[in-house]
Structure 1
Amino acid sequence: MHVMIFGCGYSGTAIARAFAGDGVRISGTTRSAEKMDALGQAGIKAYLFDGETLDEGLIQALADVTHLVQSIAPGKADPLLRLLGEDSASLLPRLEWIGYLSTVGVYGDHKGAWIDEETPCVPVSGRSKERLEAEAGWLAMGRQRGVPAAVLRLSGIYGPGRNAFCNLEKGTARRLIKKDQVFNRIRVEDIGAATRFLSDHSLGGLYNITDNRPGPPQDVIVEAARLMGVEPPPEQAFETAELTPMARSFYGENKRVSNAKLRAAGFELSFPDYPMSLAQLWQDGRWRG
């Protein structure tokens, strides 16, 4: 097995860890030469990829890739789909499985209602519309190649080094209050495990990769502060808070995302809800990363 992860950042590295084992080669791309050493230390053969060209070394590496994971944001068009074009069969002759990391943002706003993979997508932001187009492209490639292509729609990602404890320590945590607003989350280790699970079972199609417990974002801050033994930041009304346009746009979408399809396939989350996950992060001391 040779796993190639395009965009081997926070989630990509967790996916690499989930695949690591005897007989598994893991490669990953980064835009930054400075990050190549860190990937190497994690057991990942690193390649530079700028989203514009496939250099000779990367082309040679693709020749025996069996499992392709794409986690790079598409922009106006998915950079890898564009470069592979009609040549995917010659560039990836041994391909057995495709995983594409997307976002639950493609669903848009559903006024806090429960949604699943059958729910129509009404994306609000331009970036979510681009993700939806990229999803269609990867599913089409899977059909064209006759291999399973799984689209992993991720909720808000957190884990070691990226969590409410870190934000409280840095003084950047905010307790924004917007009536009836909820979000789902997903622990980064569960992203890795779910990717491995879908590939091991040769599963394709749409899957929500999300926890069991959507909830108000301010409750996560309060729970983390309780565990740390510190005072949570004061409540702020969302309507009057100073926010970047991107941060404000997240609050324009309100939904409860179901993971029933993933669980019905047999996958069990290691971190099914944020209270137990935060407690675990705090107790094992790895919350700083």
Structure 2
Amino acid sequence: MTAMLILGLGYTASRLAARLDARGWELRATNRDGRGGAIRFDDGEAVRLAIASSTHILSSVPPDAGGADPVLARYGADLARSPARWIGYLSSTGVYGDTGGAWVDETAAIGAGRRSARAEADAAWGALRPDVRVFRLPGIYGPGRSALERVASGKAHRIALPEQVFSRIHVDDIVRAVMVSFEAGPAGVYNVADDHPASQNAVIEEACRMLGLSAPPLMTLDEAGLSPAARGFYAENRRVANGKAKRLLGWRPLYPDYRLGLAACRA
């Protein structure tokens, strides 16, 4: 039997669930209110039973407003003694902070950037037990959640920061990395990013080209009127190296750059 428990059935985890369901896996998942047949996250008895009876467990739950990891705070002891043969956590490359545009791999220190709570959760999951796999993810995009939708809705911006570079990853490439890790590679931390970091402006311009629309004007951060969270996105500048996932998992992105990824989203 293969039974996957997904703690936090968000955008990425839902894509994974659909892929596993198509392969005949037994699926369990949690959310806040138990909608859609999921287990309510605060139903301790049901969640603990699922933890104890699942062969695979994945958490996609980010730290809460207070900075704590809700899954570890409530169920950490249960996860530590679970008989599951695979446990994973979806983290963020934001744990690396700003590198001034330089490449960063899994050997780099974490916790110096704006995502200090995420860095603490990342480290806590890695220390939970020796077989945990932590997937550090850059900006996630995919069908229904890409630059195409932002451009079409008139919400896209081009910011006048010519040296700014980001990594990103198509949601289905995350799903593939998680799935190949069921059978390949050792436990540990993996960056899951595409091969060609690029500026956000380049991505917006490509989406405009695909849709036959004019690119929005270049603006300063102040002129764009961005939220504090959006401004924080532009406070960091880095390229994320994915060589470890390629070497040890045998993973390769289906969408190694944003052009191929956006084309797949549009299709």
Structure-1-length-normalised TM-score: 0.85
Task: Tell me what 1:212 maps to.
Answer: 195
Query: Conserved in 2, the CA contact under 8 Å of 1:271 and 1:277?
Result: yes
Matched, 1:270 2:260: no
Q: 1:196 to 1:108 in 2, by over 3 A?
A: same
Q: 1:171 to 1:89 in 2, by over 3 A?
A: closer
Q: Identity percentage over the alignment?
A: 38
Distance 2:182 2:32 in 1: 26
Task: Tell me what 1:167 maps to.
Answer: 150
Distance 1:96 1:2 in 2: 11
Query: Conserved in 1, the CA contact under 8 Å of 2:51 and 2:78?
Result: no
Cα distance, 1:23 vs. partner? 4.6
Cα distance, 1:122 vs. partner? 4.3
How does 1:249-288 map onto structure 2 within 5 Å?
249-265=232-248, 266-282=250-266, 284=267
Query: Conserved in 2, the CA contact under 8 Å of 1:212 and 1:272?
Result: yes
Task: Tell me what 1:58 maps to.
Answer: 47
* Secondary structure of residue in 2 paired with 1:68: strand
* Secondary structure of residue in 2 paired with 1:167: helix
Matched, 1:104 2:96: no
Task: Tell me what 1:41 maps to.
Answer: none
Query: Conserved in 2, the CA contact under 8 Å of 1:105 and 1:123?
Result: no
Distance 1:203 1:18 in 2: 23
Distance 1:178 1:240 in 2: 13
Structure 2 residue identity aligned to 1:247:
A
| Structure 2: gaps (5+ residues) | none
Q: 1:89 to 1:278 in 2, by over 3 A?
A: closer
Moved more, 153-162 or 54-63: 54-63
Structure-2-length-normalised TM-score: 0.92
Task: Tell me what 2:175 maps to.
Answer: 192
Distance 1:200 1:237 in 2: 47
Query: Conserved in 1, the CA contact under 8 Å of 2:51 and 2:79?
Result: no
Distance 2:127 2:194 in 1: 28
Q: 1:130 to 1:122 in 2, by over 3 A?
A: closer
Matched, 1:132 2:119: yes
* Secondary structure of residue in 2 paired with 1:199: coil
Distance 2:176 2:56 in 1: 15
Task: Tell me what 2:73 maps to.
Answer: 82
Cα distance, 1:247 vs. partner? 0.8
Matched, 1:47 2:39: yes
Q: 1:237 to 1:83 in 2, by over 3 A?
A: same
Matched, 1:142 2:142: no
The alignment yields a C-alpha RMSD, in angstroms, of 1.7
Map Cα deviations across residues 85-143 of structure 1 (whole Å, 9 max, x no partner): 434456x3x21111111100000011001111112224321xx2111211222122222
* Secondary structure of residue in 1 paired with 2:182: helix
Q: 1:105 to 1:89 in 2, by over 3 A?
A: closer
Distance 1:85 1:280 in 2: 38
Distance 1:85 1:220 in 2: 39
Query: Conserved in 1, the CA contact under 8 Å of 2:138 and 2:192?
Result: yes
Distance 2:205 2:27 in 1: 39
